[in-house]
Amino acid sequence: MAKNILKILSIFIVGAVGGIFADQILWPYFIERPLFYQYRLEQTPIYVTQKQETTMYVQENFALREAVEKVAKVVVGVKTKTEAREILEGSGLVVTSDGLIVTLASLVPPGSAFSFFVEGQWPNYQILKRDLTNNLALVKLESSRLSTVGFADLEKTKVGERVFLIGTDFSTTTPRAVVNEGIISFFSEDLIKTNIFEDQVVRGSPLFNLEGKAVGLNILDETGRVQTIPINVIRAFIGL
């Protein structure tokens, strides 16, 4: 009889200790931190971040498309045949609705024959002045009611800001637009550098911010990287 009582007590004690152990160690672990719960905690932040990044990317692309459509008409194609029979091609920017445009002086050297293409037309022109130091030329087209854009506030322009250019490609019967985009990698009062690489076709093309405002006119360095003559330098040259 005593042996049976001791056996029952032993079973009771072992069961109680096991219950306490399970309650204190194993049970909270599986109830409070199950594997599927840990997996969900680890995966949810990644999913949310990816969703936010995707949304921002779509919004930026939509803003870029809208800005390109908004400013495409202010880009002027410039084609020149020099005295040495060299063909120069590039672009310029409409600055007033009555036909004032600005382009690179290197695209319109003296003694050459010029053609300007804007809004589907090849208007007559007059070269008003050149600034060889800043590589700028002011031209008056015999056109009216041309589209214009605002000028960017360079005091608010920052390194890392997203920008885009629109140039003119003369390789087809009717000139067409060339678009490229990137960011500002360096900024000063005299020069803006981007991370965009292009070929000669974009010389003189305007650089715009995502608001559709003109940041400046583009030139290329020896590596093909797009650099920009700031709009403040251009405004001082024009007198606006």
pLDDT tens per residue across span 178-215: 999 999 999 999 999 999 999 999 999 999 999 999 99
Q: What Cα–Cα distance (Å) separates residue 41 from each residue in 38, 45, 50, 148? A: 5, 7, 15, 52
**Is the pLDDT reported for residue 28 higher than 60?**
no
CA 20 to chain centre: 63
Q: What Cα–Cα distance (Å) separates residue 171 from each residue in 3, 84, 90, 120, 133? A: 106, 21, 12, 15, 30
The strand ranges marked E within the chain are 75-81, 87-94, 100-103, 113-117, 125-131, 136-141, 162-169, 176-187, 192-197, 206-209, 214-220, 225-230
Domain with CATH 2.40.10.10 in the chain: 72-141, 148-238
The Cα 99–Cα 125 span in angstroms is 9
Task: List the CATH code of the domain at 148-238.
Answer: 2.40.10.10
Global pTM value = 0.76
Q: Tell me: domain 72-141, CATH 3.20.20.60, correct?
A: no
Instruction: Tell me the average pLDDT of the chain.
Output: 85
Region of poorest pLDDT, from 6-20, 130-144, 174-188, 214-228: 6-20
- Taking only the tens place, the pLDDT of each residue in 37-94 is 444 445 555 555 555 555 555 566 788 899 999 999 999 999 999 999 999 999 999 9
**Which pLDDT does position 62 carry in this prediction?**
82
**Angle 192-194-161 from CA coordinates, rounded to 5°:** 90
